[in-house]
Amino acid sequence: MDDWLAGRIAEKRRWTERLYSLRIDAPINRFTPGQFIRIGLDIDGERIARPYSCVTPPDEPGLEIYYNTVEGGPLTTALLGLGEGDTLWVGRNASGFFTLGEVPSAAQLWMLATGTGLGVFLCLLRTAEAWQRFEQLRLVHSVRSVEELTYRELIDEIRDAHHGRFDYIPMVSRESCDFALAGRIPSAIEDGRLERRAGLRIDADLSQIMLCGNQDMIRDTTLVLSERGLRRNRRRTPGHITTEKYW
């Protein structure tokens, strides 16, 4: 059962009509980058809570979450009416195993995200561990429309800080643009477009893959990668593909 704390919204940012981020002041216990925290509100006499990945690393002040408003969803609908200074409930302890400590070391780390799955990777990329254990890192963010390619300034800062070791590859599935790959992540792996853009080859001897996003992407990408000899990463049987389902 969650040990709840009262948190205060320090900043609310609207990225698109559906996408928001909140920075929350709350004295949560120290967490491991990659974990998620539960956010809740009391609605009609019931505490409604959902898990959200921590965008900010533990050494940065304020807890930041990145989320998509769900039509008819009671929690995200209620969050629309909150602003700076308002309070909500925050779980004292973070949870989850989508952390770098669960990922075997390798020459390459691929971070493949759809939608708000981007948030957890922004946390991991701002840790020393990511750069100590992997030589080359690639962040792939797949969305439906160009406006959903968020956090671009932060991603540029990460690229500038790790020149030559990091690249960001945007993908847009429902619009055409001159800087992003078209289509879905699994198809871009299948036809080689993703690797050509990244300048790296996905290989069982070289690569670790972390997947975060919608379940169709995770399922289809895992299937494509398995055809290349990559397998799911588990504690008892270390492999190459790390995912976590917490919804």
Structure tokens given for 142 = 């797949």
User: What pLDDT sits at residue 20?
Assistant: 98
Residues 22-50: tens digit of each pLDDT:
999 999 999 999 999 999 999 999 999 99
Residues 91-134: tens digit of each pLDDT:
999 999 999 999 999 999 999 999 999 999 999 999 999 999 99
* Residue with token string 């969050």: 79
User: What pLDDT sits at residue 129?
Assistant: 97
Domain-by-domain residue ranges, the chain? 4-91, 100-242
What band does 244 get if pLDDT is binned at 50, 70 and 90? Answer: confident
pLDDT at 14 over 90: yes
> Count of alpha carbons within 13 Å of 74, Cβ hemisphere only?
12
Cβ–Cβ < 8 Å for 129, 241? no
User: What pLDDT sits at residue 246?
Assistant: 47
52 DSSP β-pair partners: 37
Topology of the domain comprising 4-91 = Elongation Factor Tu (Ef-tu); domain 3 (2.40.30)
Cβ–Cβ < 8 Å for 100, 106? no
Residue 182: other Cβ atoms inside 10 A: 14
Residue 16: other Cβ atoms inside 10 A: 14
Region class of 85: left (phi > 0), else alpha (psi between -120 and 50), else beta: left
What band does 1 get if pLDDT is binned at 50, 70 and 90? Answer: very low
β-strand pairing of 136-143 with 108-114: parallel
CATH code for the part of the protein at 100-242? 3.40.50.80
Q: Taking residues 217-245, report their average pLDDT.
A: 94
- What pTM value is reported for the model? 0.95
pLDDT at 15 over 60: yes
- Strand, coil or helix: what is 85? coil
213 DSSP β-pair partners: none
- Residue, of 16 and 244, whose pLDDT is higher: 16
Residue 221: other Cβ atoms inside 10 A: 26
Residues 55-96: tens digit of each pLDDT:
999 999 899 999 999 988 999 999 999 999 999 999 999 999
pLDDT at 247 over 70: no
Q: In 3D, which of 61, 63, 70, 116 has the Cα closest to residue 92?
A: 63
Residues in contact with 190: Cβ distance below 8 Å, sequence separation at least 6, in sequence order: 224
- Tell me, rounded to whole angstroms, the distance of Cα 185 from its chain centroid: 15
What is the DSSP code (8-state) at residue 32?
A: -
Residues 157-214: tens digit of each pLDDT:
999 999 999 999 999 999 989 999 999 999 999 999 999 999 999 999 999 999 999 9
What band does 245 get if pLDDT is binned at 50, 70 and 90? Answer: low
Q: How far apart are CA 200 and CA 97, in angstroms?
A: 27
What band does 2 get if pLDDT is binned at 50, 70 and 90? Answer: low
